[in-house]
Amino acid sequence: MTNLNKEIKKFTLSRAVIFGLLICFLFQAATTDGQSTVTRDSSLFYDSHFHLTNYIQEGITVHDFLKVMGSKVGRSTLFGIPLQQEWSYENSGDFAPTYYLATDAPLYYYSFTDAYIAMSYKSLTPMEQKRFDPMITGFNPTDMYAADHIKRVLKLFPGVFSGIGEFSIHKEFVSSKISGETASLTNPALDRILEFSGETGLVVLIHNDIDMPYPKEGQEPYLLRQLGALFRRHPNTTIIWAHMGLGRVVQPVQDQLRIVDRALSDSTLKHVNIDISWNEVAKYILASPNSIKATADLINKFPDRFLFGTDEMAPASQEAYLKIYYMYAPLFAQLTPENKKKLLMGNYERLFNAARIKVRAWEKMNTGKNEVIPAPTPVSGKGINAE
């Protein structure tokens, strides 16, 4: 072999080594992005419920949020609020309301939130982006065109979104303040939204109170029946029911944990998961040693179905942001280590990693096409195309 041949062979060999190392590196990066981050992640939790902005579309930047997360929170969902509180001069004069309870002026659906969230995400580096699962929220769930809005957002911002929500159907104090048609669980527009989410793989984070505030003794929690029927109509859609259905004054209905237990045991509701976000929810769960134990027992019984989230809105500091996590310590203490990890990270990772893969595949197949979403079968006698 000539010297030149030896040199060529050496060069080829070293190139092969470098190529091999590169493959190893890429493979490792892929698995980190895939299933196995939990075991290597030393953060406290992944946040399945987080609002970057408030009811007047103000908040912190995603870059500030990254600083707030620091090394404590590995991954987080990312959404604004789909509703904008109107500043009605006639109603509150020079007082500019920032919360829906501060004025009687109505709320309205603010679609620009989706562009804002998408542009915020796109301002991050690829490594930073891996930590977020942005969600589409800027649609009106009473509008038969809502699903078309979601589709338009996916096509305009491919590679960004993993889910839709948090959006609300029945929410104490809020639903009745929204201008236009009142949202309902029986509206076919909502079926179109859930159907399209199932088709694309978008995770659905829905807020719907388990009952109306202050029900009369013995009154049927009709929302629960409607909600069960809605979920059952969409078995291929991954759903997260926010706050276990609780609210500020929507208190646990009698035997509420038993109702949730029955729902989670139901094989027709396997696609439904529950988040325990919001300090108002923590208040009920942590109310007594009995309520803590009963909730822990339920999570230990169905460890794959519960997610932790903060429901924080534009937190000013890491201390404020992590408050609810530390509040829940007595509950976490009663979970097995494995189930605690599932609640805090594992279930998030499983659901949102699957969504990322499915939604990216859908975008690849559909970007550039402009087909119309077919209308679903009517769910009530009213019919979708009624004139």
Query: Applying CB under 5 A, which residues contact Zn ion?
Result: 166, 311
Cα–Cα distance measured from residue 66 to residue 61, given in angstroms and rounded to the nearest whole number: 9
Measured from the CB atom, the residue of 54 and 339 that comes closer to Zn ion is 54
Q: What is the DSSP code string of 14-35?
A: HHHHHHHHHHHHHHHHHHHHTT
Measured from the CB atom, the residue of 103 and 168 that comes closer to Zn ion is 168
Cα–Cα distance measured from residue 193 to residue 196, given in angstroms and rounded to the nearest whole number: 5
Least separation, in Å, of the C-beta of 243 and Zn ion?
Answer: 8
Read off φ and ψ for residue 78, nearest 5 degrees. -145, 115
Least separation, in Å, of the C-beta of 297 and Zn ion?
Answer: 26
Cα–Cα distance measured from residue 97 to residue 117, given in angstroms and rounded to the nearest whole number: 23
Measured at the alpha carbon of residue 312, what is the angle toward residues 59 and 31, in degrees to the nearest 5?
Answer: 100
Question: Would you call 164 helix, strand, or coil by DSSP?
Answer: strand
Measured from the CB atom, the residue of 263 and 324 that comes closer to Zn ion is 324
Cβ proximity of 96 and 87 under 8 Å: yes
Least separation, in Å, of the C-beta of 322 and Zn ion?
Answer: 17
Least separation, in Å, of the C-beta of 166 and Zn ion?
Answer: 5
Least separation, in Å, of the C-beta of 32 and Zn ion?
Answer: 29
Least separation, in Å, of the C-beta of 113 and Zn ion?
Answer: 13
Cα–Cα distance measured from residue 184 to residue 229, given in angstroms and rounded to the nearest whole number: 13
Measured from the CB atom, the residue of 80 and 303 that comes closer to Zn ion is 80
Cβ proximity of 164 and 195 under 8 Å: no
Measured from the CB atom, the residue of 105 and 314 that comes closer to Zn ion is 314
Query: Alpha-carbon dihedral of residues 142, 146, 147, 152, nearest 10 degrees?
Result: 180
Least separation, in Å, of the C-beta of 51 and Zn ion?
Answer: 6
Q: Position 149: which residue type?
A: H
Measured from the CB atom, the residue of 47 and 311 that comes closer to Zn ion is 311
Cβ proximity of 384 and 378 under 8 Å: yes
In the complex, which residue's CB is closest to Zn ion? 311
Measured from the CB atom, the residue of 311 and 363 that comes closer to Zn ion is 311
